[in-house]
């Protein structure tokens, strides 16, 4: 029988961050995870943005979330010896004049101008269509989520901490007061970071999940310098990647199974290009990606230990903002497990008030 302190089930963004943070804090951790295929992390565009959507919604603790996200990705770059985070301004093209009022509201709430500039055309990259102007969001950027997932996997494998498998909740056996067993492994706890797998995980059926399927495309312009070299959002998003290709995202569909990328989504995404750009170049679609955003809307992510048995835990519900929410919440859970630091009551599955 093998022994470890913590088994992490799943290795998307949540499991990757938690495993690395637990190891950093001296916890003996092993990760049970199949490959990245079908995960939300592999499908994501990787935009790290302080505000999203036409209402410019921002989560509470925005400065802390942004600060922890940046420092976490930068620290991981050192550990994994690769580039992961590209700080860059994000241009959001206003879709309607009403957005001007929303921007003003958010500026009043968040130390004016700190993250959100007033709408303008000045500085907007050539060729971007913006009849109502655009706002430049600061302190965000792009996280190479696919690379992060792949490098963490490689790192865990090299350290003998990766079990290429699926941890079925019904295969978990409880032994005595303080041990849990799965196959040939004994641990003090299992933390589920299983993304959309949680929708059928019996431990977490009481949580208010929101399932949102999404697709994105990796595209390449057929003309040199054909697509903008900064992030443009507004309805859909266009994200420049290090290798010269772009990620075009994303679609939103409620309550669907993940499945394969669809022709309908491909058409919907490509139709956005002429709305974002005055003269879009011909593009080649290199790959379609599909995933399920495991959301906890309207609350923060779910973190903590199960109210009925502290040997089972969770980090999930990152929704459509995993890059921003993941690092801070993973750090809180890692501190709780390693040092007993209390969890924030609004996210802790033992304390939050939005649960039955």
Cα–Cα distance, 91 to 103 (Å, whole number) = 13
Residue 261 or 280 having the CB closest to ligand FAD: 261
Q: Please report how close the Cβ of residue 55 comes to ligand FAD at its closest, in angstroms.
A: 17
Token couple for 62: 């925005």
Residue 280 or 319 having the CB closest to ligand FAD: 319
Out of 46, 141, 299, 300, point to the residue binding ligand FAD (CB under 6 A).
Answer: 46
Out of 4, 6, 9, 313, point to the residue binding ligand FAD (CB under 6 A).
Answer: 9
135-194 residues near ligand FAD, rule: CB under 6 A: 166-168, 193-194
Q: Please report how close the Cβ of residue 28 comes to ligand FAD at its closest, in angstroms.
A: 19
Strand-by-strand arrangement of the 47-48 sheet: 47-48, 141-143, 85-87
107-136 residues near ligand FAD, rule: CB under 6 A: none
Out of 69, 320, 329, 330, point to the residue binding ligand FAD (CB under 6 A).
Answer: 320
- Assess 6 for contact with ligand FAD (CB under 6 A): no
Return the number of other C-beta atoms located less than 10 Å from residue 347's C-beta.
Answer: 22
With contacts defined by CB under 6 A, name the span among 28-36, 99-107, 173-181, 273-281 that binds ligand FAD: 28-36
With contacts defined by CB under 6 A, name the span among 27-35, 90-98, 130-138, 332-340 that binds ligand FAD: 27-35
DSSP state letters, 149-160: HHHHHHHHHHTT
Token couple for 243: 């290798």
Q: Rounded to 5, what percent of the chain is helix, strand, coil? A: 30, 30, 45
Number of residues that bind ligand FAD (CB under 6 A): 44
- Per-residue burial over 57-84, b = 16 or more CB atoms within 10 Å of its CB, e = otherwise: ebbeebeebbebbbebbeebbeebeeeb
- Assess 47 for contact with ligand FAD (CB under 6 A): yes
DSSP bridge pairs for 290: 215
- Assess 10 for contact with ligand FAD (CB under 6 A): yes
With contacts defined by CB under 6 A, name the span among 170-178, 213-221, 265-273, 304-312 that binds ligand FAD: 213-221
Token couple for 304: 């903590």
Out of 20, 32, 231, 276, point to the residue binding ligand FAD (CB under 6 A).
Answer: 32
Q: Please report how close the Cβ of residue 165 comes to ligand FAD at its closest, in angstroms.
A: 7
- Assess 299 for contact with ligand FAD (CB under 6 A): no
CB 277 within 8 A of CB 248: no
DSSP bridge pairs for 312: 190
Contacts of 83 (CB under 8 A, 6+ apart): 77, 144, 242
Residue 46 or 280 having the CB closest to ligand FAD: 46
Q: Please report how close the Cβ of residue 100 comes to ligand FAD at its closest, in angstroms.
A: 24
- Assess 314 for contact with ligand FAD (CB under 6 A): no
- Assess 241 for contact with ligand FAD (CB under 6 A): no
Q: Are strands 141-143 and 162-163 parallel, antiparallel or unpaired?
A: unpaired
Cα–Cα distance, 283 to 263 (Å, whole number) = 16
Q: Measure Cα distances from 182 to 160, 174, 186, 341, 347 in Å.
A: 17, 9, 7, 27, 27
CB 180 within 8 A of CB 187: yes
Out of 66, 182, 316, 348, point to the residue binding ligand FAD (CB under 6 A).
Answer: 316
Residue 20 or 45 having the CB closest to ligand FAD: 45
Helix (H) or strand (E) holding 335: helix 322-339
Which of 18, 5, 43 minimizes the C-alpha distance to 216? 43
Q: Please report how close the Cβ of residue 253 comes to ligand FAD at its closest, in angstroms.
A: 10
| Residues shown for the chain | 356
Give the residues lining the site for ligand FAD (CB under 6 A). 9-15, 32-34, 36, 38-41, 43-47, 166-168, 193-197, 214-216, 249-250, 291, 293-294, 316, 318-324
């Amino acid at each position: 029988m093998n022994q470890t302190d913590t088994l992490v089930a799943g290795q998307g963004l949540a499991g990757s961050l938690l495993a690395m943070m637990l190891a950093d804090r001296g916890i003996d951790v092993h990760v049970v995870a199949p490959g990245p295929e079908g995960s939300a992390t592999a499908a994501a565009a990787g935009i790290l943005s302080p505000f999203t959507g036409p209402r410019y919604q921002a989560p509470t603790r925005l400065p802390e979330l942004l600060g922890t996200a940046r420092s976490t990705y930068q620290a991981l770059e050192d550990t994994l010896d690769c580039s992961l985070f590209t700080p860059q301004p994000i241009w959001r093209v206003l879709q309607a004049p009403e957005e001007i009022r929303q921007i003003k509201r958010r500026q009043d709430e968040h130390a004016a101008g700190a993250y959100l500039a007033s709408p303008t055309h000045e500085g907007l990259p050539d060729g971007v269509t913006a009849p109502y102007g655009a706002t430049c969001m600061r302190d965000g950027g792009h996280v190479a989520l696919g690379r992060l997932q792949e490098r963490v996997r490689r790192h865990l494998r090299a350290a003998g901490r990766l079990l290429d498998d699926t941890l079925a909740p019904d295969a978990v056996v409880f032994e005595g007061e303080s041990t849990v067993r799965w196959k040939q492994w004994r641990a003090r706890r299992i933390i589920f970071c299983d993304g959309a797998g949680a929708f059928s995980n019996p431990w977490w059926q009481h949580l208010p999940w929101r399932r949102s399927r999404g697709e994105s495309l990796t595209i390449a312009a057929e003309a040199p310098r054909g697509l903008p070299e900064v992030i443009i959002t507004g309805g859909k998003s266009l994200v420049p990647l290090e290798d010269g290709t772009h990620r075009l995202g994303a679609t939103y569909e409620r309550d669907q199974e993940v499945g394969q990328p669809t022709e309908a989504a491909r058409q919907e995404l490509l139709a956005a290009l002429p709305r974002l750009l005055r003269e879009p170049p011909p593009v080649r679609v290199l790959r379609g990606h599909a995933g399920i955003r495991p959301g906890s809307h309207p609350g923060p992510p779910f973190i903590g230990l199960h109210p009925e048995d502290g040997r089972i835990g969770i980090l999930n519900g990152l929704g459509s903002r995993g890059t921003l929410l993941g690092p801070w919440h993973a750090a809180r859970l890692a501190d709780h497990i390693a040092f007993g630091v209390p969890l924030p009551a609004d996210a802790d599955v033992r304390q939050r008030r939005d649960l039955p």
